[in-house]
A and B are shown apart, each in its own frame.
Chain A
C-alpha cells in the first residue's frame, strides 16, 4: 500500500476529506456569524440552533409531507430565514440600543429554547436522513474513494460562500452593507433603510445556516444537539479569522477543517483541542484575528 509520511495514503486523504467537509460547514456558518456581527453588531449564539433547525426542517418536510432533498434544500433555508426575520424584527432589534451583552444573552437563550423544544419532541438520539439518489455512490480516485454526496457538499458550500462574498464585495447592495458596518447613521442619512437591511441580513445569514443544516443532514444524523457541538468550534474560527471579515471567515473555516483532519491523522489525541490552541496563539499574536481589522 502507498504511504505518505508513514501514513497509508487512503487514510491520510480520507482524513483530509473529512477535514474539508467539516471546513465547508465551518465556512458557511462562520461566514453567517461574521456578516451578522458586522452589520448588526450581535454575536449570534443561536446560529448553531438555526443550523439544526435547517436540518430538522428537511427531515420534517420529508417525514410528514414527503418533500425530498432538492426542494428541501431551497425550502428549508427559506423557512429558517423567515424565522430569522421574525426573530430580528420582534425581538433582537429591540436590544440594539443596549449593551452588546444583551444580544448575546438573548440569542443564547433562544438557542436553548429552540434546541430544548426539539429535544422535548424528538429526543437527542437523532434521525437518519438519506442522501438523494442522484448523489449516492462515489468515485474511485485511485488513492482514495470519494463519496459523491461529500463532493457535492464541498462544491455547494464553496459556491454559496463565494456567491455571498461576491454579493458583499462586488455589488451595490454589498457596498450599502459595508458602509452600514462602518457608519449606519450616515448610511441612513443618505436615505437607505438600514433597519430593513439589518433585518434582511439576519434573515439571509441564518438562511445560510439553514442551508448548511440541510447539506449536513445526510452526513451527520439529524439531532436537536447537532448545532451545539459545531457552534463552539465555529466561534473559535470566527475569533481566529477575525470578527467581521467575510473572506477571512471562509478561508479560516476551510483551513481549520483541514488542520483538524491532519491532526486527526498524525496525532488523534489533539484533534479536538488543536483549534483552541490555534485560537489562543492567534489571540496573543494578532488580537483582531488573522484577517480582522480593528474596529474604531
Chain B
C-alpha cells in the first residue's frame, strides 16, 4: 500500500508584505480527515500562512500542493474552486449584506455541501437571526458562526479556520468546539489556527508551532501531554 497523499502540503513557503519578509519557509502537511492546528505567538505568521495558501498574498514563493497539484501560482478564485474554504480571523461578515445574503454568498464550488437545515442544526442561533437586516448587527459569536456556516454550504472539503474562538465567551467557544468536532466526523479536513491552545489541544490530531514565519516544532495528540512543558515554553503561556 502506498502512503496516502496529504490533502495539503506546503514546502519552503515564503511570503512578503511589500518589503517585509514574513514567512521564511513554512513546511507542514495535512492528511485527509485530519484536524491540524497551527499554533504560535502573536505575529508569528499564522494568518499570513492561511492567506498565502488562499492566494491572497501576492508575493509568495515555495510550494503549496493541494491534492497533489501545485497551487502556489493560482489566483484566489481558482484556489477556492478546488474546494478550499477560508474563514478569516476578522470573520469578514459583510455589513451591507443581510444575514441571509451573507450566508448564501459563497457559491457552491463542489457537490456535497451542507444543506441550510444542517447548518442551522450546527448553529441554531443562525436560524433565529436569519432575517437580520445586516450581518454587522450580530454578536461576535453569531458572526463567527455565520462565518463558519457560510463556507460549509460550498462543498469545500478543506477548511482553513483562523482563530474561530478569538474574543468569544466560554459557552460560545464550547459550542464552536462541538461544531468543529462534528465537522471532523463528517469528513472535513480542517486547518485550525489558534491562540487558545486548550481549545486546539482538545480538537486537533497534530499541532505545528510557528515562530518568526517558520514551523519550529510539531506535536501529535499522543505526545502532547508528555511534552506540555516544551509547548508552553514555545507559546509563552
Of the candidates B88, B95, B96, B154, the one whose C-beta lies within 8 Å of that of A186 is B88
Stretch from A131-139, A154-162, A173-181, A218-226 that touches the partner: A173-181
Q: Report yes or no: A175 in contact with B80, Cβ–Cβ below 8 A.
A: no
A189 to B107, CA, bound (A): 11
Task: Check B101 for interface membership: any CB of A closer than 8 A.
Answer: yes
A contact residues, total (Cβ < 8 Å): 18
User: Chain A binding site: helix, strand, loop or mixed by DSSP?
Assistant: helix
Of the candidates B81, B92, B154, the one whose C-beta lies within 8 Å of that of A183 is B92
Q: How far does the Cβ of A226 sit from chain B's closest Cβ, in whole Å?
A: 34
Q: Report yes or no: B94 in contact with A191, Cβ–Cβ below 8 A.
A: no
Q: How far does the Cβ of A128 sit from chain B's closest Cβ, in whole Å?
A: 44
Task: Check B131 for interface membership: any CB of A closer than 8 A.
Answer: no
Produce 1/0 per residue, A75-89, CB < 8 A to B: 000000000000000
Q: Report yes or no: A191 in contact with B105, Cβ–Cβ below 8 A.
A: no
Q: Report yes or no: A186 in contact with B92, Cβ–Cβ below 8 A.
A: yes
Chain B residues numbered 65-105 whose CB sits less than 8 Å from any CB in chain A: 75-77, 79-81, 85-86, 88, 92, 94-97, 101, 104-105
Q: Report yes or no: A175 in contact with B101, Cβ–Cβ below 8 A.
A: yes
Q: Provided the pairs A183-B94, A186-B92, A189-B54 are in contact, do residues A176 and B77 lie with their beta carbons within 8 angstroms? A: no
Task: Check A192 for interface membership: any CB of B closer than 8 A.
Answer: yes
Task: Check A193 for interface membership: any CB of B closer than 8 A.
Answer: yes
- List chain B residues, Cβ under 8 A from A194: 77
A172 to B76, CA, bound (A): 20
- List chain A residues, Cβ under 8 A from B101: 175
A194 to B105, CA, bound (A): 13
Q: How far does the Cβ of A172 sit from chain B's closest Cβ, in whole Å?
A: 7
Q: Report yes or no: B94 in contact with A192, Cβ–Cβ below 8 A.
A: no
Q: Report yes or no: B97 in contact with A190, Cβ–Cβ below 8 A.
A: no
Q: Provided the pairs A186-B88, A188-B80, A193-B77 are in contact, do residues A181 and B96 lie with their beta carbons within 8 angstroms? A: yes
Of the candidates A172, A176, A179, A189, the one whose C-beta lies within 8 Å of that of B56 is A189
Q: Provided the pairs A185-B76, A188-B76 are in contact, do residues A175 and B54 lie with their beta carbons within 8 angstroms? A: no
Task: Check B106 for interface membership: any CB of A closer than 8 A.
Answer: yes
Q: Provided the pairs A182-B94, A191-B81 are in contact, do residues A175 and B105 lie with their beta carbons within 8 angstroms? A: yes
Beta-carbon nearest neighbor of A190 in chain B? B106
- List chain B residues, Cβ under 8 A from A187: 105
Of the candidates B95, B97, B154, the one whose C-beta lies within 8 Å of that of A191 is B154
- List chain A residues, Cβ under 8 A from B55: 188-189
Chain A residues numbered 144-162 whose CB sits less than 8 Å from any CB in chain B: none
- List chain A residues, Cβ under 8 A from B151: 190
Of the candidates A179, A182, A189, A192, the one whose C-beta lies within 8 Å of that of B86 is A189
A185 to B80, CA, bound (A): 12
Among A176, A185, A186, A188: residue with most chain B CB under 10 A: A186
Task: Check B109 for interface membership: any CB of A closer than 8 A.
Answer: yes
A182 to B97, CA, bound (A): 10
Q: Report yes or no: B105 in contact with A176, Cβ–Cβ below 8 A.
A: yes
Q: Report yes or no: A188 in contact with B75, Cβ–Cβ below 8 A.
A: yes
Q: Provided the pairs A175-B101, A185-B56 are in contact, do residues A192 and B92 lie with their beta carbons within 8 angstroms? A: no
A178 to B154, CA, bound (A): 20
Q: How far does the Cβ of A186 sit from chain B's closest Cβ, in whole Å?
A: 5
Of the candidates B75, B95, B107, the one whose C-beta lies within 8 Å of that of A190 is B107
Produce 1/0 per residue, A178-211, CB < 8 A to B: 1101110111111111100000000000000000
A175 to B135, CA, bound (A): 12
- List chain B residues, Cβ under 8 A from A181: 96
Q: Provided the pairs A176-B105, A179-B105, A185-B56 are in contact, do residues A192 and B77 lie with their beta carbons within 8 angstroms? A: yes
| Residue contacts A-B, CB under 8 angstroms, 27 given | A172-B104, A175-B101, A175-B105, A176-B105, A178-B94, A179-B94, A179-B97, A182-B94, A183-B92, A183-B94, A185-B56, A185-B76, A186-B88, A187-B105, A188-B55, A188-B56, A188-B77, A188-B80, A189-B54, A189-B56, A189-B76, A189-B79, A190-B80, A191-B77, A191-B106, A191-B154, A192-B107
Nearest first, the 5 A-B pairs at minimum CB distance are: A191-B80, A190-B106, A188-B76, A178-B96, A175-B101
